[in-house]
Amino acid sequence: MNNQLERKYGLFTAICMVVGIVIGSGVFFKAQTILTRTGGDMPLGILAWLIGGAIMLVCLLTFAFMGQKYERVNGLVDYSEATVGP
């Protein structure tokens, strides 16, 4: 009888699984809070999720642009100093 473990998943699959678990658990934990704040109104709750997703998408694109434009190492601090001043 062979008692050795076989490797089924590679590094990429393992990383995707961890990211999916973290994001997935966050979605399930925040749904109750959103529905409580909207008074149980499901369409309004879905609208809140969509607005939040749109804001996150704009932030993602902004940081991606700033990361390409300014080659510094401190991230947000350097980006704000480059746009607003020291």
pTM of the model: 0.56
Which value, to the nearest 10 degrees, does the dihedral of the CA atoms of residues 84, 79, 20, 37 take?
Answer: -10
CB 79 within 8 A of CB 70: yes
The dihedrals phi and psi of 23, each to the nearest 5 degrees, come to: -65, -45
Tokens representing 81 are: 């100093």
* pLDDT range class, residue 44, cuts 50, 70, 90: very high
Residues near 50 by beta carbon (within 8 Å), at least 6 away in sequence: none
Q: What is the pLDDT averaged over residues 32-51?
A: 88
On the question of pLDDT at 42 being above 80, the answer is yes
Q: What is the pLDDT averaged over residues 28-47?
A: 85
Instruction: Decide which of 48 and 80 is more confident.
Output: 48
Average pLDDT, whole number, for the chain?
80
